[in-house]
Structure 1
Amino acid sequence: MQRIRDLLECVWPAALEAAKWPFRSATWVAALTVVVRRDGGDLDRTRRLGLARFERAVRAEVTWRGKTRPCLRIVRRLFAALTDTAGVVAHRPAVFEELEWTLADWDDARSKLTDVEARMVSVLDELEVTALVASIDGLSPVGAAAILAQTGDLTRFTSARAVVKHAGLAPRERKSGTFTGKARVTGAGRPQLRVAAWRAVWGCLQTNRVYAARYRHLTSRETNRLTPTQAQTAVAAAILRQLYAVVTQQRAWDPVIAAHGTNTWRETMGVTAA
């Protein structure tokens, strides 16, 4: 994505302004693909197609990419950008050729990623734990599979804390003689497990009310207030503990149990523990 952005900024910067988040938009990617593959950087020739034919070509590309229909607002903005002369116009043919190769590589990488993620989830299906791990709000089956790929069979751990220590997310005090320092995350353990747990944090903070409330509490409390990074680390450790619990106990995730029934969370969320 960065390579495509760099190339467009050199020869056709107006294309990047056709969508707010261009690389997240299937319509924008499809429209750019049509422009790049059709006329090799000759934007005037593409413009002579007319808006209606351009929309049909983009619609076909969007359908090929597995989407139902394009966002016509983005299509029309990109079509209007065909008249823009900003950038190094003389280099457009060569740069658009490289763009075509880069888009092909990107499509290939995304196809392989989709295949790998499908196989990851199929392993969870075989183990009959997909519904259990997906019961944790904000944790996708792919995210859970990435974590379990690093932990292996969770039943081999004696406790949830052992899983957290295995990831290197358990805080430990630094002691030397009579000196006792602050408790810090050790960093020992499996780095890839830490990465998988860390990535799971972002989805959980967006959609999981328990972890979002815990994050707000940790970063706003008066005593021992944590930095955002420290709070995210604490949430990552909590996700590992809850994943261990639901898998080993074969019970769906319970937000009240996950919140440990604390008054802080109940007051924040307006929930009464059973």
Structure 2
Amino acid sequence: IKELSPEEVLMKWKPYVQRGVGIKRATKLVEAARKSIGIQIGIQFAKRELDYLLDQYELYKQQVEQLDTELEALVETLPGAKQMMEISGLGSTTIALFFSEVGDITKYSHPQQLVNLAGLSLREHSSGKFKGQTRITKRGRSRLRRALYLAIRPLVAHNPTFKALHRYYTTRSEKPLKKQQSLIALCCKLLRVLFVIGQKQCEFDGSKLVRGLPQKQVLQVA
């Protein structure tokens, strides 16, 4: 482009673009190319700055990897964490976020306390005679709520138990849930599962969650 004239640029455009291009736009392109291409002033220090930025990136990458390794080792020492991470679709990062927001899980006496802490409890938004929609309160730990939501999506995709529950919630004949509503309900279900495992340090048993579901729903996922 730097070596071409505006007329030559316009001729090369014409076979591909019939409208919206003209000699004025071609002239601007050529002028911009001559001012921006082949600049040599300060190139040495620009390369040095780029090298420094790449070095910083590699350093940060190594530090993050080291922190991830230390975090995973630390999480495994928490009560019930190993059993939680054995759930297909859950990783150490999610479990670490869960404990960082919840703290000592033995201090809770009921899983509903965790649901309230995450701001996932339901509330009807009404005023006077107007009856509004029932939505989650969002009065709680937003980071915990976000971690649960990000965790439940791969669980619904890859974990047979949560996949069966999601299919049932969204396709049942009576009061089927929308996909988003089902994900929120499953976030609450996941909290209850983590509560039980944290309290008893027991293995995850998906059959207990799908007990009572129509056999057709379970077989479609199995």
- Same fold, TM-score > 0.5, yes or no: yes
The alpha-carbon deviation at position 117 of structure 1 amounts to: 2.3
Instruction: Determine helix, strand or coil for the equivalent of 1:126.
Output: coil
Residue 80 (structure 2) pairs with residue 132 (structure 1): no
Q: Which runs of 5+ in 1 are unaligned?
A: 1-87
Which one-letter code corresponds to 1:266 in the other structure?
Answer: V
Which one-letter code corresponds to 2:218 in the other structure?
Answer: R
| Larger RCO: 1 or 2 (CA < 8 Å, sep 6+) | 2
241 and 91 in structure 1: CA distance in 2 versus 1, 3 angstrom threshold: farther
Residue 171 (structure 2) pairs with residue 215 (structure 1): no
Separation in 1, partners of 2:84, 2:98: 11
144 and 188 in structure 1: CA distance in 2 versus 1, 3 angstrom threshold: same
The alpha-carbon deviation at position 229 of structure 1 amounts to: 3.0
Alignment RMSD (CA, Å): 2.9
168 and 226 in structure 1: CA distance in 2 versus 1, 3 angstrom threshold: same
TM-score after normalising by structure 1: 0.57
Residue-by-residue CA offset, 1:70-103 (whole Å, 9 max, x unaligned): xxxxxxxxxxxxxxxxxx8647968766654444
The equivalent residue for 1:268 is: 220
Residue 125 (structure 2) pairs with residue 167 (structure 1): no
Identity %: 23
Largest Rg, 1 or 2 = 2
Which one-letter code corresponds to 1:206 in the other structure?
Answer: A
The equivalent residue for 1:123 is: 74
Separation in 2, partners of 1:130, 1:207: 20
Separation in 2, partners of 1:236, 1:91: 55
The residue correspondences of 1:22-101 to structure 2 (distance < 5 A) are 90=38, 100-101=51-52
145 and 258 in structure 1: CA distance in 2 versus 1, 3 angstrom threshold: farther
Question: Given that residues 166 and 190 in structure 1 are in contact (C-alpha distance below 8 angstroms), is that contact kept between their aligned partners in structure 2?
Answer: yes
Residue-by-residue CA offset, 1:101-138 (whole Å, 9 max, x unaligned): 44434333332322222232222232353321112211
Separation in 2, partners of 1:91, 1:231: 57
Residue 198 (structure 2) pairs with residue 247 (structure 1): yes
Separation in 2, partners of 1:95, 1:233: 49
Q: How many residues align?
A: 183
Separation in 1, partners of 2:55, 2:164: 42
Q: Which runs of 5+ in 2 are unaligned?
A: 1-35
Question: Given that residues 168 and 213 in structure 2 are in contact (C-alpha distance below 8 angstroms), is that contact kept between their aligned partners in structure 1?
Answer: no
2:64 to 113, 116, 119: 113
Q: Which structure has the highest helix share of the two?
A: 1
Instruction: Determine helix, strand or coil for the equivalent of 1:189.
Output: coil
Which one-letter code corresponds to 1:207 in the other structure?
Answer: H
Separation in 2, partners of 1:205, 1:198: 11
The alpha-carbon deviation at position 223 of structure 1 amounts to: 4.7
Instruction: Determine helix, strand or coil for the equivalent of 1:172.
Output: strand
The equivalent residue for 2:140 is: 189
266 and 191 in structure 1: CA distance in 2 versus 1, 3 angstrom threshold: same
TM-score after normalising by structure 2: 0.68
